[in-house]
A and B are shown apart, each in its own frame.
Chain A
Amino acid sequence: MEPTNINNPEYFHKVVDCQHACPAHTPVPEYIRLIAEEKYTEAYMINWDSNVFPGVLGRTCDRPCEPACRRGRIDGQDEEPVAICRLKRVAADNKGDVKSLMPQGPFKPNGKKIALIGAGPASLTVARDLAPLGYEIHLYDEQKLGGGFMRSQIPSFRLPETVLNEEVNYILDLGIHTHFNHYVKSLKDTLANGYDAVFVGSGAPKGRDLDIPGRKEGASNIHIGINWLANVAFEHTAKIGKKVIVLGGGNTAMDCCRTARRLGGNDVKVVVRSPFAEMKASPWEKEDAAHEDIPIIDNHVPKSFVVENGVLKGMMFEKVVAEYDKEGKRKLVPVGGPDIFIEADDVLIAVGQENSYPWIERDLGIDFDKWEMPIVNEVTFVSSNPKVFFGGDAAWGPKNVITAVAHGHQAAISMDLFCRGESMTVRPSPFVNLVSQKMGIHEWAYDSAVVNDERYVVPQAEKKVTLSNRKKEVELGFSGITGFKEAQRCLNCDIQTVFTTDKCIECDACMDVCPTACISFTDNADESDLRNMLKMPALNKSQDLYVSEPLKTKRVMVKDENVCLHCGLCAERCPTSAWDMQKFFYNVTKAHTGCSSHK
């Protein structure tokens, strides 16, 4: 193998599994260390820069970082990832004054005008990144408040309104011109208003319906999940029947069933076509539903709504079993026997949501594909009309808040480059730093000891209280002490093991002391051979091998990054400091922090 090029920041970035997995590449270990040091404000600001909504995401994020967390790999099945998401909330809950650390308006206008359609996380991110550069930003939304789906779809018992308002207002206070209660009916008209660029962040607003017998007859008691959640959030709906069926297996279904429990549903069931294990909902959301006595009935395909004398009585289901062909493709096969009847006063349909662009005229130079989705560049987020950008769910269908934020950052960079007449394909480099942590013998600037604690559980409020009050937040968040203990579980994967070939005397000390047998000295070979020549075969191919230049004996040092604990013992046992522990800081450049020429 060729020697690893550690001068390419992407190599070490990938070693920081959580940060690499985060769509917005939040510097996770950095803020976790700050939390352990009780520097909550600083931890919050690291988050705010990267993901814009730390308080919201600390409660509701889909957490792609956690399955990626190295901690989950280091001990077979027993070890759980660090509770990264809930630690973020600790920073948000305990922070001091953060507003003074944010960009302070009013900003000197640069003469350019931008429209943002939809006031969800993607648009708000664009607004935050561009406002400090002097753009005149106009934000449109059909609702009376900003936040988009964070407000209409995430129930208050998971995300209190105060938290959402606070973080939305940090952005609106940057001098954004808001146009709430304003449904944009025509993109053509918007473009005609003289905007230099338009960002479409209108989400995937159309809940999928279920066209089966009885749908029309029972319509008054059959609701589209996301619309119903929005009606609850904006207080148009305050009640539901006692017996409720929620159709669907995603997180929206989980929000629907738990909300129904709070609005009078005391016999709420989730019915899903797929097997339980394959449901789209996050495991913790399924657990929360189970905790609130909501059964999840899997392998049931809805056949019809049963309506008698104009009143919905329930639904018929066909029981199926999942079978898989050779390629692993799933087929739901009926098991036979009579259909199953489940009683219901109300049914909530949460079987997916779609984009819908009736308001975008098809003669504006924006190309749409055969699924009526705009064709959007995956790097620049621009459509085939160079003035029109897409991001969030609006670009490629429903994802999640953190993805929308990541889109927003990149779209903002593109819009800024476009408005300045520069090429959008030349992207700004990330901000990178690499600093030795050595302070003395056995002394490091980071807490290198690996703790053995198991993942701490976030305490919850009493069920009796939370079920009777829709707005009462269920999760109480970690206390400062528990937050500290959980933060200590972080392995500090951003403290990199950096190897200097010409200092190495090949004494084997690092190889002998490494607790997880990551380091080998061996003859060089092709990657596939080399992976099997190491002290422990490197079988996790998603993790890289760190290969040195040839050593004096013509061998190479090979480190399997897979289960490195970043404990620093290799560097402590190295007599020549050929190994050093160096803190790697990687931050995605945002429009307002970039080297923009008009700053």
Chain B
Amino acid sequence: MTYIRPKFRHPELPKNKLGYSVDYYEGALSTLCAGCGHDSISAGIIQAAFELNIEPHKLAKLSGIGCSSKTPAYFLSNSHGFNSVHGRMPSVATGANLANRDLTYFGVSGDGDTASIGMGQFVHAIRRSLNMTYIVMNNGCYGLTKGQDSATADQGSKNKSGNVNLFESIDLASLAIELGATFVAQSFSGDKSQLVPLIKAAMNHPGFAFINVISPCVTFNNNMGSTKSYDYVREHVEATATIDFVPEMQEISVEYGKGKQKQVVMHDGSVIQLHKLSEDWDPLDRQSAMNAVLNSKAKNEILTGLLYVNPDAHDLHHMINTSDRALNSLTKAELCPGSEMLVDINSGLR
């Protein structure tokens, strides 16, 4: 038996601006089922981090429990990681983010971890506009416990043993838009050309960036009648736009026709370039994004791509006016400024 990844990589792998090739962002060899969509998303995260020239020690990956939450072991081995309690990743992320605002926070969760046990935590992280990327690897079932329907399984879809799901599903993307997330996207694990730019844009977004990724469970939810199988998703997928993320403003070289080209300039100067596939959708308008999601749902389509973005988002630190420096870098001198300062403060309250 062998389950060893050779150390050899392609001899001509390109290097990024930091001098790392993509293998520096890899993790351990996955122990998920062969063909799991989650592994494709992991590969997308590796690619995005490589292309964004992320210094691995400036990133923290956080997760809860489940197949999805195992994946941080399979990417970015040189980054910080915290595998927390089931559904409690947002709390840990909140604490970490408040203590050290200088890191990039990358949360990985699943449909069970987010839409069931972690729902309470998820919605409050959105409300608070925590500056993080939150990816849900959504396969519509509890793969780790043999494939029971999860809260995101579509009503009427069939599971592997032929049972039809009776309950309405929770649509995480519309929920996130509803709750005021400032970056909401949807994607499919089998489409890296869309997923990688979305992850890159999300990591550059200065607020809560949510990506719901349909990720087929190849073992328990890839059957006929499932709405989260490879075949079903491929047949029903519709994209809002083709997307490209560029680190800084560039001349547009391709003109697609009036009203079709859209650029969203983020406040660090980076740009999301969209080639819109439907004209009545405006990614900067929450109402329009909501309509687009509902319309495609009514047509049994799975709408993917960027749904909504507010480039002027403010995060939790801004809202509660914390110190510009990371709290964990403050020394005793700054935290205990002494009795004279106390006297000053007290006199100010008189």
Q: A: which residues have CB within 8 A of B?
A: 73-76, 79, 442-444, 447-450, 452, 505-509, 511-513, 515-518, 536-537, 539, 552-553, 563, 565, 567-569, 572-576
Tell which of A73, A74, A508, A539 touches B43, judged by Cβ atoms closer than 8 Å. A508
- Known contacts: A507-B190, A552-B231. The answer to whether A442 contacts B8 by CB under 8 A is no
Tell which of B2, B29, B234 touches A449, judged by Cβ atoms closer than 8 Å. B2
Task: Verify if B7 is at the interface (C-beta below 8 Å from A).
Answer: yes
Q: Which residues of A contact B151 (CB under 8 A)?
A: none
- Known contacts: A447-B2, A448-B2, A575-B34. The answer to whether A507 contacts B230 by CB under 8 A is yes
State A42–B190 Cα separation when bound (angstroms): 47
B212-236 CB mask vs A (1 if < 8 Å, else 0) is 0000101100100000001100100
Task: Verify if B36 is at the interface (C-beta below 8 Å from A).
Answer: yes
Could you list some 15 contacts between A and B, CB below 8 A?
Answer: A450-B4, A450-B7, A507-B36, A507-B37, A508-B192, A512-B40, A513-B29, A513-B30, A513-B39, A516-B8, A517-B13, A552-B231, A552-B234, A573-B35, A573-B39
- Which residue in chain A gives the minimum CB-CB distance to B12? A536
Report whether A507 and B35 are in contact in the complex, using a CB–CB cutoff of 8 Å: yes
- Which residue in chain A gives the minimum CB-CB distance to B26? A515
Interface of B is mostly: loop
Task: Verify if B9 is at the interface (C-beta below 8 Å from A).
Answer: yes
Q: B: which residues have CB within 8 A of A?
A: 1-13, 29-30, 33-37, 39-40, 42-43, 189-190, 192, 216, 218-219, 222, 230-231, 234
Report whether B2 and A563 are in contact in the complex, using a CB–CB cutoff of 8 Å: no
Q: Which residues of A contact B1 (CB under 8 A)?
A: 442-443
Report whether A512 and B43 are in contact in the complex, using a CB–CB cutoff of 8 Å: yes
Report whether B8 and A506 are in contact in the complex, using a CB–CB cutoff of 8 Å: no
Q: How far is the CB of A454 from chain B (nearest CB, A)?
A: 13
State A449–B10 Cα separation when bound (angstroms): 17
- Known contacts: A509-B34, A552-B231. The answer to whether A75 contacts B40 by CB under 8 A is no
- Which residue in chain B gives the minimum CB-CB distance to A452? B7
Q: How far is the CB of A559 from chain B (nearest CB, A)?
A: 13
State A576–B229 Cα separation when bound (angstroms): 14
Q: How far is the CB of B187 from chain A (nearest CB, A)?
A: 13
- Which residue in chain A gives the minimum CB-CB distance to B33? A575
- Known contacts: A507-B37, A512-B43. The answer to whether A565 contacts B11 by CB under 8 A is no
Report whether A573 and B13 are in contact in the complex, using a CB–CB cutoff of 8 Å: no
Report whether B10 and A517 are in contact in the complex, using a CB–CB cutoff of 8 Å: yes
State A15–B43 Cα separation when bound (angstroms): 28
Report whether B8 and A512 are in contact in the complex, using a CB–CB cutoff of 8 Å: no
State A513–B4 Cα separation when bound (angstroms): 11
State A383–B222 Cα separation when bound (angstroms): 65
Q: How far is the CB of B179 from chain A (nearest CB, A)?
A: 32
Q: How far is the CB of A71 from chain B (nearest CB, A)?
A: 9
Report whether A536 and B230 are in contact in the complex, using a CB–CB cutoff of 8 Å: no
Tell which of B8, B35, B37, B230 touches A515, judged by Cβ atoms closer than 8 Å. B8
Q: Which residues of B contact A572 (CB under 8 A)?
A: 3, 34
State A539–B12 Cα separation when bound (angstroms): 10
State A424–B30 Cα separation when bound (angstroms): 56
The 8 closest A-B pairs by CB, nearest first: A575-B35, A450-B6, A512-B43, A507-B35, A449-B2, A508-B40, A76-B11, A575-B34
- Which residue in chain A gives the minimum CB-CB distance to B40? A508
State A572–B34 Cα separation when bound (angstroms): 7
State A573–B2 Cα separation when bound (angstroms): 12
Report whether B2 and A512 are in contact in the complex, using a CB–CB cutoff of 8 Å: no
Q: Which residues of A contact B10 (CB under 8 A)?
A: 516-518, 536, 563
Report whether B11 and A568 are in contact in the complex, using a CB–CB cutoff of 8 Å: no
Report whether A516 and B231 are in contact in the complex, using a CB–CB cutoff of 8 Å: no
Report whether A75 and B6 are in contact in the complex, using a CB–CB cutoff of 8 Å: no
Known: A449-B2, A536-B12. 13 other contacts (CB 8 A): A442-B1, A443-B1, A449-B4, A450-B8, A505-B230, A506-B190, A507-B36, A507-B189, A509-B40, A515-B9, A517-B9, A536-B10, A572-B3
Q: Which residues of A contact B3 (CB under 8 A)?
A: 442, 572
State A244–B11 Cα separation when bound (angstroms): 46
Q: Which residues of B contact A569 (CB under 8 A)?
A: 5
Q: How far is the CB of A80 from chain B (nearest CB, A)?
A: 14
Report whether B13 and A575 are in contact in the complex, using a CB–CB cutoff of 8 Å: no
State A572–B35 Cα separation when bound (angstroms): 10
Report whether B35 and A505 are in contact in the complex, using a CB–CB cutoff of 8 Å: yes
Q: How far is the CB of A558 from chain B (nearest CB, A)?
A: 15
Tell which of A512, A517, A537, A574 touches B42, judged by Cβ atoms closer than 8 Å. A512
- Which residue in chain A gives the minimum CB-CB distance to B74? A512
- Which residue in chain B gives the minimum CB-CB distance to A574? B34
State A79–B10 Cα separation when bound (angstroms): 13
State A503–B49 Cα separation when bound (angstroms): 32
Q: Which residues of B contact A452 (CB under 8 A)?
A: 7
Report whether A515 and B6 are in contact in the complex, using a CB–CB cutoff of 8 Å: yes
Q: How far is the CB of B194 from chain A (nearest CB, A)?
A: 13
State A52–B30 Cα separation when bound (angstroms): 47
Report whether A505 and B222 are in contact in the complex, using a CB–CB cutoff of 8 Å: yes
Q: Which residues of B contact A565 (CB under 8 A)?
A: 6, 8
- Which residue in chain B gives the minimum CB-CB distance to A74? B8
Q: Which residues of A contact B13 (CB under 8 A)?
A: 517, 536
Tell which of B2, B35, B189 touches A568, judged by Cβ atoms closer than 8 Å. B2
